[in-house]
Amino acid sequence: MLRNNETEQPSGVLLKLMAFSVALGVLPLSSYYGSLHYLWEGNTIYSAITAVVAANVVLVSYIITATLEEGKASKAGSPSETRKER
Amino acid sequence: MSQCPPFAPFFGFAGVASAMVFSTVGAAFGTSKSGIGIAGLGQFKPELIMKSLIPVVMSGIIAVYGLVVSVLIAGSLSTKYSLFAGFVHLGAGLACGFTGLAAGYAIGHVGDACVRAYVHESKIFVGMVLILIFAEVLGLYGLIIALIMNTKVAQASEFC
């Protein structure tokens, strides 16, 4: 049975997961401090809201990436089954 | 009794610590409980692993909420610190921490059960994401209250 996690791209999934983990850690904090100094001029509430929005943007992009990858995987899986039928 | 006793920063630091600690406990429970379900799903359908990691990412966001509140409170700590500010910061930290604990608990149970059901029925995915979003906004409510409480410190800051 073709397992797309193993044979086609063994490191693609892992790279994506590592990128998202780093983004989830780095983006909220950096957006908090960056918007505190450069965008909102010391208003901590708006900076905290910016950090929360950044974290949720990472989450939404992860959901979209996972959904798109599953759509690609199911399309790639069906031709291999017809090869078996031959 | 003065407005700024020397033990006032204890409450401020307790607020910082409780925001981080309790929300991390919630996130750890969510990650581990849904990780058990993902390990079960991975045996049968490994191509669904990327989609079933969504509860884990949401638990991470709960920990990020606690981190943001801790950074926010720690930014307004100082040596000239009134007891009022200490109590406000403690309340803000506890609000964020315990709501993060509740959200992580919900995400853990829901993630485990829904991920195991996803092996058999793929239409449960949308329902799982909706339930997880509702569980995560519990932590968001705690963060909003912590933000609102933190503004009170900025307003009343010149006691000592």
A70-84, pLDDT tens digit by residue?
777 777 665 545 555
Q: Look at residue A58 and tell me if it is in a domain.
A: yes
Cβ-nearest to A24 among B64, B129, B140: B64
**From CA B19, how far away is CA A16, in angstroms rounded?**
30
Statement: residue A10 has pLDDT above 60? no
Are B110 and B128 in contact, with CB atoms under 8 Å apart? yes
Domain that holds residue A66: 17-75
Q: In chain A, count H helices and then E strands.
A: 2, 0
Q: Look at residue A41 and tell me if it is in a domain.
A: yes
Q: Look at residue A47 and tell me if it is in a domain.
A: yes
CA-based nearest residue in chain A for residue B149: A45
Q: Which DSSP letter does residue B6 get?
A: T
Kindly report which listed range (A17-31, B8-22, B94-108, B146-160) carries the lowest average pLDDT score: B146-160
- Number of C-beta neighbours around residue A78 at 10 A: 8
B45 three-state secondary structure: coil
Q: Look at residue A7 and tell me if it is in a domain.
A: no
**From CA B139, how far away is CA A48, in angstroms rounded?**
14
**From CA B103, how far away is CA B90, in angstroms rounded?**
20
| Count of domains observed in chain A | 1
Q: Look at residue A82 and tell me if it is in a domain.
A: no
CA-based nearest residue in chain B for residue A52: B65
Q: Which chain B residues have a beta carbon less than 8 Å from that of A51? A: 64, 68
Q: How far is B1 from chain A (nearest CA, A)?
A: 31
Tell me, what's the pLDDT at B152? 82
Backbone angles phi, psi at A34, to 5 degrees: -65, -45
Q: Are B72 and A59 in contact (CB < 8 Å)?
A: no
**From CA B71, how far away is CA A77, in angstroms rounded?**
46
**From CA B20, how far away is CA B70, in angstroms rounded?**
6
Total-model pTM = 0.86
Average pLDDT (A55-59) is: 93
Q: Look at residue A65 and tell me if it is in a domain.
A: yes
Q: Which chain A residues have a beta carbon less than 8 Å from that of B47? A: 3-5, 70, 73-74, 77
CA-based nearest residue in chain A for residue B66: A52
Tell me, what's the pLDDT at A30? 93
Q: Which two tokens stand for residue B70?
A: 């801790």
Statement: residue B46 has pLDDT above 70? yes
Say yes or no: A61 contacts chain B, CB-CB below 8 A: no
Q: Look at residue A23 and tell me if it is in a domain.
A: yes
Q: Which chain A residues have a beta carbon less than 8 Å from that of B143? A: 48, 52
**From CA B3, how far away is CA A13, in angstroms rounded?**
56
Helices B8-44 and B54-75 pack at an angle, to 10 degrees, of 170
Q: Look at residue A11 and tell me if it is in a domain.
A: no
ipTM over 0.85: no
